[in-house]
């Protein structure tokens, strides 16, 4: 196997694709195909990926100056994803990147299913370009800039630019950042939020072991507990939804966040994943939604099992908390409106760090379950009966075409209608009264005919079809004699009153 006699010296946080571009320019190769065969021994279609393959062949061509593990850890984004993988998936990913076949790698890591790939682009920071030329003599592609959800440079706080390759080409043009026109990947609003996320992702990329400790220690569950979103080991969904909804509206405007800010339900999949790989962006974005910044991630020490309500035996590290923090925790705990002490925010923290004060507080504020008075069903039955009579009169004297007195129409106009329907044995008077008040089809049509005769001044010789049409009757439940009687009575009333 041919050895490489000229390979660029890596710059800080440089991606493998950037090294390939610099090698391509250094040797003045005429095509990416030639560069790929020199570096990897094959025509690799993953060199421009955040998870490139063929690294085993590259390591051998470099005379083991860099092992496969070093190439992966220093020049790819796998360290950003690895804390969220189990050992099996992690080993499989590294084996795939060492070999020459990366088919299904992004799918196995959940990247394809996340929907983030369609928003991917080669990104750069204009400030970084200027400083790289000044200090390194050349610009290069920074690894963290290519991470999903990184819209702000974590070093300079500037909005990144997405590269558009000329003439519809792709990364095989082997270009440096800013050699072609780029456009901002997000609007100016929400820059602080996007900046915090970029800083957290950079820290996660550089400290995968610390991120693993966050996941093993259930950082998100501890955070939910501190903010009062847990009750008896379960998430208080409605309370959490009410808190997250306005926060999502203030989320960054980058394209990747369109997959997240339209709903909050993905949060549950991050808090308690079920055999799925959590995407780093979702984890850090949820940290921001829960008002946890980079300092919270760095200072987290898993010390308690929040499911059982007590600190885990032997979990106390012996590091005393500062007096100012203890006083702030006490104040937040005391001012909480929750009646039960173990549901107040910070209960577990105080249990670990200030148990004596917590014990005294709980003793002085015992939870007493209040017994509600028994319901006077007889009085409620009488009140409901009166309301039913009022509702019946409202229906009968409603202006316009007569409405039928039905069970549903009555229930819509009275209080405790649900109790009445579910517990009819508690309302014997009302049940009997309603049975008597319900109107039959015949009685309802008689009222409709009388209304139509009065409303439209129908003469005594009107055809039945005319009466039925004005009354809105399709299937008749009244007899011809009843209709003629109503017409006759209406005529006598008009003669008596002197109406035409």
Tens-place pLDDT, residues 400-428: 899 999 988 988 888 777 777 788 888 89
Contact, 171 vs 48, CB < 8 A? yes
Mean pLDDT of the chain: 87
* pLDDT at position 497: 67
> Quick one: 301 and 432 in the same domain?
no
Instruction: Specify the 3-state DSSP secondary structure of 97.
Output: helix
Q: Does 259 share its domain with 351?
A: yes
224 touches 160 (CB < 8 A): no
Residue 347 and residue 447 in one domain: no
Enter the DSSP assignment of 125. -
- Is 433 found in the same domain as 396? yes
**202 in a domain, yes or no?**
no
In a domain, 354, yes or no: yes
Residue 232 has pLDDT above 80, yes or no: no
Instruction: Report d(CA 71, CA 169) in Å as an integer.
Output: 27
Q: What tens digit of pLDDT does each residue of 420-470 get?
A: 778 888 889 988 998 899 999 999 999 999 998 888 888 878 888 888 898
Among the candidates 399, 423, 439, a domain finishes at: 439
Residues 7 and 62: beta-carbon distance below 8 Å: yes
Distances (CA, A) of 419 to 408, 425, 457: 14, 10, 45
Other Cβ atoms less than 10 A from the Cβ of 246: the count is 8
Domain finish residue from 364, 395, 412: 364
Question: Does 449 lie in the same domain as 326?
Answer: no
Any domain includes 108: no
The alpha carbon of residue 410 and the mean position of all alpha carbons in its chain are separated, in whole angstroms, by: 41
Please report whether residue 25 resides in a domain.
no
Q: Which two structure tokens, joined as six digits, stand for 316?
A: 């106390």
The answer as to whether 107 is a domain residue is no
Terminal CA-CA length for the chain: 115
State how many domains the chain has. 3
Whether the per-residue pLDDT at 307 is higher than 90: the answer is no
- Look at residue 68 and tell me if it is in a domain: no
pLDDT of residue 93: 95
Position 305 scores a pLDDT of 43
Answer yes or no: do 397 and 309 share one domain: no
Domain check: are 446 and 331 in the same one? Answer: no
Task: Give dist(CA 11, CA 175) in Å, integer.
Answer: 17
Residues 253 and 328 grouped into a single domain:
yes
Strand partners, 183: 162
Q: How far apart are CA 265 and CA 206, in angstroms?
A: 29
Looking at residue 200, its pLDDT comes to 96
Q: Indicate if 225 and 347 belong to the same structural domain.
A: yes
Q: Are residues 311 and 391 in the same domain?
A: no
| Residues 344 and 291 both lie in one domain | yes
pLDDT value, residue 303: 52
- 131 falls within a domain: no
Predicted structure pTM score: 0.64
CA distance 71 to 68: 5
Helix (H/G/I), strand (E/B), else coil: 311: coil
Beta carbons of 469 and 449 less than 8 angstroms apart? no
For residue 480, pLDDT over 50 is answered with yes
Residue 63 is predicted with a pLDDT of 86
Helices (H), 272-376: 280-289, 294-299, 323-334, 347-353, 355-364
Handedness of CA 150, 151, 157, 158 (dihedral sign): positive
Closest CA to 19 of 41, 52, 43: 52
Angle, vertex CA 278, rays to CA 231 and CA 89, nearest 5: 130
Residue 316's pLDDT band, with cuts at 50, 70 and 90, is very low
Domain of 421 in residue numbering reads as 377-439
φ, ψ dihedrals at 295, nearest 5°:
-65, -35
Report yes or no on 381 lying in a domain: yes
- Dihedral sign, CA of 139, 143, 148, 151? negative
Reduced to 3 states (helix: H, G, I; strand: E, B; else coil), residue 369 is: coil
Share of the chain above pLDDT 90, in %: 48
Boundary of a domain, candidates 403, 423, 439: 439
Residues 453 and 341 in one domain: no
């Amino acid at each position: 196997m041919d050895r490489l006699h000229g390979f660029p010296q890596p710059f800080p946080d440089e991606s493998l694709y950037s090294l390939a571009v610099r090698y391509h320019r250094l040797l003045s190769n005429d095509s990416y195909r030639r560069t790929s065969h020199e570096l990897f021994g094959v025509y690799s279609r993953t060199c421009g990926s955040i998870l490139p393959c063929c690294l085993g062949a590259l390591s051998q061509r470099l005379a083991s100056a860099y092992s496969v593990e070093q190439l992966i850890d220093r020049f790819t984004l796998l360290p950003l994803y690895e804390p969220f993988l189990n050992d099996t998936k992690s080993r499989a990913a590294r084996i795939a990147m060492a070999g020459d076949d990366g088919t299904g790698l992004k799918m196995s890591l959940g990247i394809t299913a996340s929907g983030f790939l369609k928003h991917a682009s080669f990104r750069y920071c204009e400030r970084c370009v200027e400083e790289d030329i000044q200090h390194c003599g050349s610009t290069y592609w920074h690894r963290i800039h290519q991470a999903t959800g990184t819209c702000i440079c974590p070093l300079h706080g500037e909005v990144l630019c997405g590269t558009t390759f000329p003439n519809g080409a792709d990364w095989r043009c082997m270009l440096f950042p800013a050699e072609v026109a780029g456009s901002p990947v997000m609007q100016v609003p929400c820059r602080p939020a996007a900046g915090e996320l970029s800083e957290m992702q950079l820290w996660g990329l550089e400290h995968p072991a610390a991120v693993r400790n966050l996941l093993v220690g259930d950082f998100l569950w501890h955070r939910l507990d501190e903010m009062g979103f847990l009750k008896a080991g379960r998430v208080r969904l409605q309370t959490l939804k009410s808190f997250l909804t306005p926060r999502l509206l203030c989320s960054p405007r980058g394209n990747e966040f369109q997959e997240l800010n339209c709903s909050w339900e993905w949060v549950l999949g991050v808090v308690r994943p079920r055999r799925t790989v959590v995407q780093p962006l979702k984890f850090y974005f949820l940290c921001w939604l829960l008002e946890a910044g980079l300092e919270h991630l760095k200072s987290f020490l898993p010390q308690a099992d929040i499911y059982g309500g007590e600190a885990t035996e032997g979990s106390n590290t012996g590091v005393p908390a500062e007096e100012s923090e203890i006083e702030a925790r006490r104040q937040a705990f005391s001012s909480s409106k929750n009646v039960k002490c173990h549901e107040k925010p910070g209960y577990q923290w105080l249990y670990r760090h200030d148990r004596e004060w917590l014990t005294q507080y709980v003793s002085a504020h015992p939870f007493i379950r209040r017994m509600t008075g028994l319901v006077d069903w007889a009085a409620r039955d009488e009140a409901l009966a009166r309301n039913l009579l009022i509702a019946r009169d409202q229906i009968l004297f409603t202006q316009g075409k007569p409405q039928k007195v039905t069970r549903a129409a009555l229930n819509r106009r009275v209080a405790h209608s649900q109790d009445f329907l579910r517990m009819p044995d508690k309302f014997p008077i009302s049940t009997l009264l309603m049975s008597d008040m319900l109107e039959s089809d015949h009685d309802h049509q008689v009222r409709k005919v009388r209304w139509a005769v009065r409303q439209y001044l129908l003469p005594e010789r009107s055809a039945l079809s005319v009466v039925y049409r004005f009354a809105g009757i399709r299937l008749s439940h009244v007899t011809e004699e009843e209709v003629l009687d109503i017409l006759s009575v209406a005529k006598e009333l008009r003669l008596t009153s002197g109406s035409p």
